[in-house]
Amino acid sequence: MTRAFALIARGQLSASLPFHPLALLLATEAAAIWLCWPLVLLKKVAHPSAQAVNSWLLVHLVLLVAVWVIRLVTGTLP
User: Is the pTM value of this prediction over 0.85?
Assistant: no
Give the alpha-carbon dihedral of 21, 27, 30, 34, to 10 degrees.
-170
Written as one string, the DSSP assignment of 29-71 is HHHHHHHHHHHHHTTSSPPPPHHHHHHHHHHHHHHHHHHHHHH
In this prediction, residue 61 carries a pLDDT of: 96
CA distances from 22 to 5, 25, 45, 69, 75 (A): 10, 5, 27, 14, 18
Q: Count other C-beta atoms under 10 Å from residue 77's C-beta.
A: 8
Residues of the chain predicted below pLDDT 50: none
In this prediction, residue 6 carries a pLDDT of: 96
In this prediction, residue 48 carries a pLDDT of: 87
In this prediction, residue 4 carries a pLDDT of: 94
In this prediction, residue 7 carries a pLDDT of: 96
